[in-house]
Structure formats: structure tokens, C-alpha cells
Amino acid sequence: MPSADSRPFIPIVPARSAERTAGEADHACSGAESFALMVLGDSMAPEFTDGDIVIIEPEGLATDGSYVLAFWQDEWIFRQLVRASDRWRLRALNPQYPDIDLPDLGPVRGVITLPGS
């Protein structure tokens, strides 16, 4: 088991920092470093629930089925990336939320690499 000193520091970014670009929080990491976010709301339930912590890899490879952090219409959202014929779509796991069609992968700012509560 690694000692506490050898484990990487992964900051949890507060929601009030959401208007910043992924990885730009005051206290923490360069744009390439992983960081943690707390899930807010029920859009990704039942797999991810309010209060769960997820690890974001800003330079992770987003593929069909990946869970991603995206910046869409001035809002940070956590969704599943789905390939729909010739375009990409952001899909909530909770069917009460609509899908979002993307013109390209530009809004995707990171890939969830470690889900967990």
C-alpha cells in the first residue's frame, strides 16, 4: 500500500469555481492535471448520485460511452458521450433530462476516469 506521501494530490474544485475552465481553479492544478468534482443533482442517477466524487482527466480520450465533463451554454455539465450516426450527443442517465446534440467535441473538457462516492 502506498504511503500517504506518495499518493497524488487531487483537488476537489468547489461549484463556485464552475465558471472557470476545467483545471483553472485558483488552488490547484495545471490544465493537464486530474482533479475531482462533486456530482450535484440527479441527471446522472442512478449510476452517479448527488454528492458522489468523480475524477476528471482533462486530457483523457473521449470515446463513445465515456463519461465526460462538458461546458455547454455557459454551464458545466456531466454526461455520457454517445456517438449518434454522424454526430456526438451528451446524454444524461436520468431520462428526465434531454440529450444535447454537439456540433463537435469542442465542449468536452475532460473525461471521468474514476467514478465513486
User: Which residues lie across from 69 on neighbouring strands?
Assistant: 78, 110
pLDDT in tens, 67-106: 999 999 999 999 999 998 889 999 999 999 999 999 899 9
Residues 6 or more apart in contact with residue 30 via CB below 8 angstroms: 23
What is residue 60's predicted lDDT score, i.e. its pLDDT?
A: 93
More confident of the two residues 40 and 11: 40
pLDDT in tens, 27-68: 445 678 899 999 999 999 999 999 999 999 999 999 999 999
The answer to whether the beta carbons of residues 54 and 115 sit under 8 Å apart is: yes
What is residue 16's predicted lDDT score, i.e. its pLDDT?
A: 52
Give how many domains the chain has, as a whole number.
1
Q: Which domain does 79 fall in, by range?
A: 4-116
Cα(45)–Cα(28) distance, integer angstroms:
28
Amino acid (1-letter code) at residue 16: R
Residues 6 or more apart in contact with residue 71 via CB below 8 angstroms: 21, 22, 77, 107, 109
Cα(43)–Cα(99) distance, integer angstroms:
11
Cα R_g (the chain), whole angstroms: 14
CATH number at residue 94: 2.10.109.10
114 — pLDDT class (breaks 50, 70, 90): confident
What is residue 21's predicted lDDT score, i.e. its pLDDT?
A: 47
Whether the CA torsion 48, 4, 13, 78 is positive or negative: it is negative
Model confidence, pTM: 0.75
List phi, psi (to 5°) of 108: -75, 120
Cell numbers at residue 74, please?
455557459
